[in-house]
Amino acid sequence: MSTSLICSTDEARLWKPLKDAKIQCRLCAHFCVIAENERGRCGVRVNRQGRLYTLVRDTVAALNLDPVEKKPLYHYFPGTKTLSLGTMGCNLSCSFCQNSSLSQPPRRGEAVRGERMQAEVVVDLALRSKAASISYTYSEPTVFFELVENVATRARERGLGNIIVSNGFQSRECLESWGPLIDAANIDLKAFTEGFYKDICGARLQPVLDNLKTIRGLGWWLEVTTLLIPGLNDEPGELRAMADFIYRELGPQTPWHLSRFHPDHTMLDRPPTPPQTLKKAWEVGKEAGLSHVYVGNITGVAGEATECSRCGTPLLLRQGFHVRNIGMDDGACRACGAPVEGQGMKTIPLEATT
């Protein structure tokens, strides 16, 4: 889609006034205290005369029709399309960001670009495109909270699902406000050390861990993604700690996606993740007891098929975004009858090409 300098300026939600015309944003785990005429860390929430405004209530900077597997979500209505949208801005500063042209300019005080789109227009487009859901993605949906809320409310009214693809650094207030509206989430668990989050992402690990547990409690379908970066978060002990956390706190049926790193943004000094590292990480996840571990951004390593968590029979085969059902009937394993974890697993046809 084309972009322009036009952006909205509307009063934001989830904030409280402080002294001297300062405000505290309550949207994410930074809890920014913002002085008058200043922006929060995300670059898209601004204090004007002691009130907080959003620059992206209806300013869409990216809009595409995607396979839901691209989010990645492998256990949420597999084989369907999702209308994906995002704005500019992000509350993290990851040096490896793959969408830095969207996420980072507002953090530097640059203009917020995009096209103004009303929620009804987005939902109509999703329905005309035969999408099963709308995904809030590309940058960080937390910072376009109000847009998510507006679109998701109307999407739910018209029978569409709602997905967030997020870094998981929300406030609890944000998650609880979204609670009745969101159906599924893919959350990045970027590493398992506070040092990585502080030095590489400008954030903290603990709020992400807390939010993953909160999301599980809200009843959304949850999948977790970790981008493996050579020398930074791929040590076997750290991977075991991540896998153990997912198993213990989120449940053994929670899918864990392990993605291959490619140099991007300012992190250009590291090579792509070796295939053997991804294979070892997959083995760590399986050894920890996770039923569904997947490997992404590379083929032929491991973890491309969905297998029955009870008997191990292959159920769904994937090649790129082509999904083939070889072992399920009515959402259950054909061999042993165990139900397949997820949402919309009963709807997948014998073959689904996305």
State the Cα–Cα distance between residues 152 and 169, nearest whole angstrom: 20
> Taking all residues of the chain, what is their mean pLDDT, rounded to a whole number?
94
* DSSP assignments along 297-339, one per residue: SSSSSS--SEE-TTT--EEEEEETTEEEESSEETTEETTT-PB
How many CB atoms are located within 10 Å of the residue 115 CB? 15
Whether the per-residue pLDDT at 4 is higher than 90: the answer is: no
322-325/351-353 β-pairing: antiparallel
**Cβ 208 vs Cβ 168: under 8 Å:** yes
User: Per-domain residue ranges for the chain?
Assistant: 10-54, 59-353
Whether 278 and 40 have beta carbons less than 8 Å apart is answered as no
Long-range contacts from 21-24, C-beta under 8 angstroms, 24+ separation: 21/47, 21/49, 21/50, 22/47, 22/50, 23/47, 23/50, 23/51, 23/52
Please tell me what DSSP assigns to residue 13. S
Quickly state the pLDDT bin for 349 (edges 50, 70, 90).
low
Whether the link from the prior residue into 275 is cis, omega within 30° of 0, is no
User: What is the architecture of the domain spanning 59-353?
Assistant: Alpha-Beta Barrel (3.20)
Q: Residue 298: pLDDT band by 50, 70, 90 thresholds? A: confident
Q: Over the stretch 24-59, which tens digit does the pLDDT of each residue have?
A: 999 999 999 999 999 999 999 999 999 999 999 999
| pLDDT, average across residues 304-310 | 94
Vertex 188 angle, CA 242 and 141, to 5°: 155
| pLDDT at residue 352 tops 50 | no
According to the model, what pLDDT value does residue 257 have? 98
How much is the pLDDT for 322? 86
pLDDT: which is higher, 108 or 2? 108
Cα 272 from Cα 230, distance rounded (Å): 7
pLDDT-derived band at 302 (thresholds 50, 70, 90) equals confident
User: What does the pLDDT read at residue 350?
Assistant: 52
The mean per-residue pLDDT over the stretch 284-290 comes to 98
Torsion angle, alpha carbons of 192, 257, 153, 155, to 10: 170
Strand-strand pairing, 306-307 and 314-319: antiparallel
pLDDT of 149-170, one tens digit each?
999 999 999 999 999 999 999 9
Which pLDDT value is given to residue 219?
Answer: 97
Query: Given the structure tokens 């990851």, which residue do they identify?
Result: 94
Tell me the average pLDDT across 259-288.
95
pTM of the entire predicted model: 0.95
DSSP string of 139-164, one letter each residue: S-GGGGHHHHHHHHHHHHHTT-EEEE
pLDDT tens across 180-232, in order?
999 999 999 999 999 999 999 999 999 999 999 999 999 999 999 999 999 99
**pLDDT on residue 24:** 98
Radius of gyration (Cα) for the chain, nearest Å? 20
Taking CA atoms, 188 is separated from 97, 118, 169, 192, in Å, by 12, 28, 10, 11
Predicted pLDDT of residue 348? 73
Q: Above 70 in pLDDT, residue 6? A: no
pLDDT above 60: residue 148: yes
Give pLDDT tens digits for 224-271: 999 999 999 999 999 999 999 999 999 999 999 999 999 989 999 999
**Mean pLDDT of all residues in 70-99:** 96
| CA gap 226, 76 in Å, rounded | 19
